């Protein structure tokens, strides 16, 4: 009983529970015929939300007002530039990856420079930055759709032992993120800043350095997700990042990370990302139209947050 | 110094100054804009944005944020272009229902202590879905009276300017002068002390959300009056535009520090930035980027003026 009790207090358990419920409801309808296919698709598509969600989670943990709105634009720019550079050449995969990461670092630095130097609230700073980054993507892309190198295209769309490769990448990133958060001083610093910035500063936490690294990390993860997504979908599109703006925020919050900051968890991101994809595919399986599907998605998000939010009113 | 302007006035001076500078730049680039028709064209689309900005400002004054503003305004536009024209009574009922849902959201957010960002995120899917159900493809038609109201040609100043002034004055009276407005801003400042003083925080928050719903409904109707037809995605940009407008106008995310007049000026500045860029003949690729740059420059200007003001004070 003690294990059940402890599990039910874990903030991430609810998103896993909801994801499982939806998964079960979907395969019941199809009579279990599509179990493997559905699970693989869910893991694949959730992988992208997981990668950007982890970056967003680090930023949100920094405390109220911290949010990264430049994620979609960074994804688009990194995807377009990397594919253009690689130009269907397998030998250029590594330079392409490095370029994507450099773009992420650049955007992250610019984001934090705006926040710090101009004292702009992070929402507005990353929003203005995303306009500029999006313009840069439009300028480099020019409506061209360059195919990814064949090796990358195969890698992102195939599976290893039945598990999609991209979800393995997401798993590695999640493990690193979990280690950073739980086992390193840096992770403690983020939580400390999120709980109270003045207190963290008094305690000698390098507040500026930590925030700077966090914004860079978020942008790098976004650029990595953009790189993988562009290869997965057979080319970069200018709108490929759009849905990840709301998605990255939704998975963080549904995963049980405190919106007020200072309290984050990685497993919840996985549950919430799988849940978000499975809800859409469940409603698709039931044959509902786009309108009804959107309404249901919204209502489910609200009911999940009401259930999870009301459960621990006193516990911070 | 004898004449010391109030903090509110200084808060307002910076947005007003940025708008004036931008307007001067536009006139310098294109002197023909300095006319009745020119001004109307420049600021036409500012009216719905200003209304949406006021709505967002009301929500921000209780320390919340509405990420569903764009989809709600789109939904209202779809209702206005279909039901409000064909069956006015049903249309009015639907829109009143929308306002009620906003008030209920305020109640729910308060009672359960939910993060407004997530609740409004969920609602944004709901409004988008409803809008798609109403108008699966772009279409519909604006009601005659809305169309004629928005294209009215009042003497002296063009409709866009007159409407902006009216919006600013009405919002100022509600938010800054009425006791309800003080209460709403008080929740943003210090919720507990408002509670201790014997006010119902629940009712005030519901009122703030309900009022925001009313202004958002007006924004949707005004938008349809200008565009004549609607689309489920017509106003998606409004979520971010309205937040940027409030901040440009000197508002802040927390603490109940907002300025309705500033918010309208912020919305006008954002609209004008678009026209300014097309006058500059910047390549369309960089239009969005330049808009971001203008946002940054205005905020940098605000920081600079704040610093100067602080130095004055210390002297």
The mean of the pLDDT values for chain B is: 85
What residues contact A49, with CB distance under 8 A and at least 6 apart? A244, A247, A248, A251, A273, A276, A277
Q: Token match 């004036």: residue?
A: B20
The nearest alpha carbon in chain A to B252 belongs to A121
pLDDT for A313 equals: 38
Residue A90 reports pLDDT greater than 90: no
Contact call for B108 and A306, based on CB within 8 A: yes
* Other CB atoms within 10 Å distance of the CB of residue A287: 8
pLDDT tens digits, B63-74: 888 889 999 999
For chain B, how many residues are written?
315
pLDDT in tens, B194-234: 888 888 889 999 999 999 999 999 999 999 998 888 888 88
What is the nearest CA distance from B203 to chain A, expressed in angstroms? 20
Please check whether residue A70 is in contact with residue A241, taking contact to mean a CB–CB distance below 8 angstroms: no
Q: In 3D, which of B290, B259, B314 has the Cα closest to residue B15? A: B259
- Cα gap B222→B227, rounded to integer Å: 9
Number of domains into which chain B is organized: 1
Cα distance from A181 to chain B (closest Cα, Å)? 23
Residues of chain B with Cβ-Cβ distance to A123 below 8 Å are: 243, 253
Q: Test B118 with A297 for CB contact under 8 angstroms.
A: no
The predicted complex's ipTM stands at 0.78
Q: Does a structural domain hold residue B175? A: yes
Mean pLDDT within A180-194? 86
| Across B245-260, average pLDDT | 82
For residue A62, the domain's CATH number is: 1.10.3470
C-alpha distance from B138 to closest chain A C-alpha (Å): 14
Half-sphere exposure for B291 (CA within 13 Å, toward CB): 23
Percent of chain A with pLDDT over 70: 92
Pure H helices in B30-134: 36-43, 46-60, 69-81, 83-86, 88-112, 116-134
pLDDT in tens, B16-73: 888 888 888 888 888 887 888 888 888 888 899 999 999 999 999 998 888 899 999 9
**Which residue is it, tokens 């996985």?**
A270
Range of the domain at A64: 36-311
Distances in Å between the Cα of B70 and the Cα atoms of A71, A135, B179, B234 are 19, 22, 29, 8
Per-residue b/e over A67-105, b at no fewer than 16 CB within 10 Å? bbbbbbbbbbbbbbbbbbbbeeeeebbeebbebbbebbe
Contacts of B269 in chain A (CB under 8 A): none
User: Looking at the DSSP assignment, which residues form a beta bridge with residue A160?
Assistant: A163
Is A226 within a domain?
yes
Contact criterion met (CB below 8 Å) for A179 and A32: no
> With the C-alpha atoms ordered B114, B118, B120, B126, is the resulting torsion angle positive or negative?
negative
What pLDDT is attached to residue B57? 93
Cβ burial, residue B37 (10 Å; 0-12/13-18/19+):
exposed
- The alpha carbons of chain B give a radius of gyration, in whole angstroms, of 20
B252 CA: distance to closest CA in chain A (Å): 9
Q: Residues 105..134 of B with a Cβ closer than 8 Å to A: which?
A: 108, 112-115, 117-119, 121-133
For residue A114, list its beta bridge partners: none
pLDDT, one tens digit per residue, over B289-308 is 877 887 788 777 777 777 77
Note whether residue B14 is domain-resident.
no
How many domains does chain A fold into?
A: 1
Looking at residues A213-221, what average pLDDT do you find?
A: 92
| Structure confidence at residue A314 (pLDDT) | 36
- Identify whether B313 is part of a domain: no
Domain annotation covers residue B17: no
Contact flag B303-A253 (C-beta cutoff 8 Å)? no
Looking up residue B199, the CATH number of its domain turns out to be 1.10.3470
Indicate if the pLDDT at residue A316 is higher than 50: no
Q: What is the DSSP letter of B230?
A: B
Is pLDDT above 50 for A128? yes
User: Is B26:B276 a contact under the CB 8 Å cutoff?
Assistant: yes
Across A24-38, A151-165, A166-180, which has the greatest mean pLDDT?
Answer: A166-180
Whole-structure pTM value: 0.81
pLDDT > 90 fraction of chain A, expressed in percent and rounded: 12
Residues of B in contact with A65 (CB under 8 A): 253-254
CB contact under 8 A, A135 and B119: no
Distances from the Cα of A31 to the Cαs of A17, A276, B252, in angstroms? 21, 22, 53
Tokens 């090796």 -> residue? A151
pLDDT at B76 over 70: yes
d(CA A180, CA A190): 10
What's the domain range around B298?
42-305
Residue A27 placed within a domain: no
pLDDT of residue A4: 67
Residues of B in contact with A295 (CB under 8 A): 125-126, 129-130, 133
Q: Is pLDDT above 70 for A113? A: yes
For residue B289, being part of any structural domain is answered with yes
pLDDT at B260 over 50: yes
Cα distance between residue A145 and residue A1, in whole Å? 56
Q: Residue A310 — very low, low, confident or very high, per pLDDT cuts 50/70/90?
A: very low
Tell me the pairing of strands A163-164 and A159-160. antiparallel
For an interface test with A, the pick among B71, B108, B125 (most A C-beta atoms closer than 10 Å) comes out as B125
Task: State whether the Cα torsion A124-A127-A131-A136 is positive or negative.
Answer: positive
Average pLDDT, chain A: 82
Nearest partner of A239 among A254, A228, A229, A252, judged by Cα: A229
């Amino acid at each position: 009983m003690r294990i059940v009790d402890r599990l039910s207090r874990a903030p991430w358990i609810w998103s896993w529970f909801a994801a499982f419920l939806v998964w079960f409801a979907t395969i019941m309808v199809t009579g279990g015929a599509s179990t493997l296919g559905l699970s693989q698709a869910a893991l694949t598509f959730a992988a992208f939300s997981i990668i950007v969600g982890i970056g967003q989670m680090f930023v949100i943990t920094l405390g109220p007002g911290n949010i990264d709105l430049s994620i979609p634009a960074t994804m688009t720019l990194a995807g377009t530039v990397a594919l253009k550079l690689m130009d269907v050449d397998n030998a250029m995969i590594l330079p392409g990856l490095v370029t994507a990461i450099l773009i992420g670092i650049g955007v992250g630095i610019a984001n934090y420079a705006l926040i710090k130097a101009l004292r702009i609230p992070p929402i507005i700073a990353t929003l203005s930055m995303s306009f500029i980054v999006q313009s840069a993507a439009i300028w480099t892309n020019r409506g061209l759709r360059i195919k990814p190198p064949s090796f990358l295209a195969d890698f992102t769309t195939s599976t290893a032992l039945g598990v999609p490769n991209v979800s393995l990448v997401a798993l590695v990133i999640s493990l690193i993120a979990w280690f950073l958060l739980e086992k390193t001083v840096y992770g403690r610093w983020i939580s400390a800043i999120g709980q109270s910035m003045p207190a963290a500063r008094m305690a000698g936490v390098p507040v500026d350095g930590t925030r700077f690294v966090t914004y860079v990390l978020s942008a790098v993860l976004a650029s990595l997700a953009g790189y993988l997504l562009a290869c997965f979908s057979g080319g970069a599109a200018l709108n490929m990042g759009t849905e990840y703006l709301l998605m990255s925020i939704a998975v963080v919050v549904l995963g049980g990370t405190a919106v007020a900051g200072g309290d984050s968890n990685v497993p919840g991101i996985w549950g919430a990302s799988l849940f978000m994809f499975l809800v859409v595919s469940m409603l698709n399986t039931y044959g509902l139209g786009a309108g009804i599907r959107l309404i249901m998605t919204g209502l489910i998000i609200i009911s999940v947050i009401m259930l999870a939010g009301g459960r621990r009113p006193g516990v911070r | 110094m004898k004449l010391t302007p109030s903090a509110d006035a200084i808060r307002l001076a910076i947005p007003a100054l940025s708008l004036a500078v931008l307007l001067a730049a536009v006139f310098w680039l294109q002197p023909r804009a300095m006319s009745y028709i020119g001004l109307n064209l420049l600021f036409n689309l500012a009216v719905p944005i200003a209304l949406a900005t006021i709505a967002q400002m009301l929500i921000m004054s209780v320390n919340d944020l509405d990420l569903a503003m764009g989809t709600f305004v789109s939904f209202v536009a779809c209702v206005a272009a279909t039901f409000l024209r064909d069956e006015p009574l049903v249309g009015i009922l639907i829109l009143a229902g929308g306002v009620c849902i906003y008030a209920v959201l305020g109640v729910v957010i308060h009672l359960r202590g939910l993060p407004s960002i997530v609740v409004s995120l969920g609602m944004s899917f709901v409004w988008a879905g409803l809008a798609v159900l109403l108008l699966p493809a772009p279409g519909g038609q604006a009601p005659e009276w809305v169309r004629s109201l928005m294209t009215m040609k009042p003497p002296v100043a063009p409709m866009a300017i007159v409407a902006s002034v009216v919006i600013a004055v009405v919002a100022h009276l509600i938010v800054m002068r009425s006791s309800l407005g003080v209460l709403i801003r008080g929740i943003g400042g210090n919720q507990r002390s408002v509670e201790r003083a014997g006010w119902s925080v629940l009712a005030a928050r519901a009122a703030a959300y309900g009022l925001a719903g009313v202004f958002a409904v007006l924004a949707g109707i005004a938008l349809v009056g200008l565009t004549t037809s609607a689309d489920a995605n017509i106003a998606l940009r409004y979520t971010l535009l309205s937040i940027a407008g409030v901040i440009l106008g000197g508002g802040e995310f927390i603490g109940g520090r907002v300025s309705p007049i500033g918010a309208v000026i912020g919305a006008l500045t954002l609209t004008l930035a678009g026209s300014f860029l097309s006058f500059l003949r910047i390549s369309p690729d960089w239009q969005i980027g330049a808009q971001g740059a203008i946002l940054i420059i205005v905020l940098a200007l605000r920081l600079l003026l704040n610093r100067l003001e602080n130095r004055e004070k210390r002297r």
